[in-house]
Amino acid sequence: MLSTQEKFDLIARRQSFLEDADAESLKQLLEKKPRLKLAWETTPTGKPHVGYFVPIAKLIDFLRAGLDVTVYYLDTYGFLVNYVHSMETVAYRQRYYHFLVTAILKALGVSPSKVHFVAESSLAYTKPFVVDVQRLCAIMKQDDARATSTEVSECDMISPLLCSIHQSLSEQYLDLDIQYGGEDQTGLFEHAKKFIPKLGYRRREHIMNVMVAGLDGLKMSSSKPAHTKIEFLDDPETVRDKVSKAACPERQVADNGVLGLLRDVLFPISQQRAERLLGKTELYDDENSGYSVGQHPFCSLKAPTGTIFTVGGGDVEEKHFASYEEIETAFVAGQVHPEALKQAVIDSFNVLLAPIRAAYAESREWQEVDRLAYPEGN
């Protein structure tokens, strides 16, 4: 049984809060309520990239901390914000996301049965929800909606102005304690924090993950060109080609897309796998019984105890690291060459993506949904 502090540490590692005081607020809530409800909310728009590993892998920490976890597909929001696509197309995209999210969870060694899945459209057309949309519209200014994101602030259509309302109301209609998302959700979380109490509902907690850098060293985005990101269904040679050409300036951390992927995607997952091996997660039946198939940390079998990531192998001397900071320090010192680092990242991603590719290849239904959701490929 984890203590309140241990639960908090799992929930908060590698995460940020809107304000420093929110960390203490979360601790107090953990003391009062034994099983908190959390939702990760995702909008089915463009095809997801490997940056989505960050929030989905984090769900494992939330489950370990005893949280009741929901994946909430903002399909109504997706139609409102991406109005050039029909409702039918957005519905197919929501199904595509569900196929992908469940495949990712399985690839990470977690049964999807441990998570709840809810589509926003199952709530958004109920009378109480619609009434609350109208109540919020009556107390908000247009600038309140525009302040939630650059995308909305620059739009002259009406429908995107409703998006913040829809996402904020999820906190009440899912009966959440915590809403979880990326740091790009800051404006939306601040909106919920301000307006949900004005409807007479309690204020919720908000946790944010980092936004992953693309292969160009800048923010990874579904709307950016394919060469700037690794996509979940990229074949091994495509992954190799993309990472080989990625920004990885020697001895430099800034604008280094390869180090960014290692820090934010691969290292946290490898650490979770190492913790599973040591029997620390209390999530799996096979803990502390040797490596599960496909759940090996991204390190050599010959690596010393405590290793999380290995660079090298074959003709290149292996170097073992117990923390990301160790890798970064060695890279800046010139002890790890960019090509060796790229090779380790290529190998790790191809191992991680293999079961997701296989799930797609085996599912004709997923392939058909893909065709209908993304007729132009993305």
Could you tell me the end-to-end alpha-carbon distance of the chain, in angstroms, rounded to an integer? 44
CATH code for the structural domain at 226-373: 1.10.240.10
Are the folds of 4-209 and 226-373 the same? no
How does pLDDT run along the chain (378 residues), one tens digit per residue?
899 999 999 999 999 999 999 999 999 999 999 899 999 999 999 999 999 999 999 999 999 999 999 999 999 999 999 888 999 999 999 999 999 999 999 999 999 999 999 999 999 999 999 999 999 999 999 999 999 998 899 888 999 999 999 999 999 999 999 999 999 999 999 999 999 999 999 999 999 999 998 898 776 676 677 788 999 999 999 999 999 999 999 999 999 999 999 999 999 999 999 999 887 666 654 544 444 557 889 999 889 999 999 998 767 789 999 999 999 999 999 999 999 999 999 999 999 999 999 999 999 999 999 999 999 877
Domain chopping of the chain, boundaries: 4-209, 226-373
Which SS3 state, helix, strand or coil, does residue 110 take?
Answer: coil
- Give exposure, 63-80, as e/b (b: 16+ Cβ within 10 Å): bbbbbbbbbbbbbbbbbb
- Radius of gyration (C-alpha) of the chain in whole angstroms: 21
The whole-model pTM stands at 0.94
Length of the chain: 378
Dihedral pair phi/psi, residue 312, rounded to 5°: 110, -175
Residue type, 265: V
CATH code for the structural domain at 4-209: 3.40.50.620
Q: Are 333 and 251 in contact (CB under 8 A)?
A: yes
Q: Are 196 and 205 in contact (CB under 8 A)?
A: no
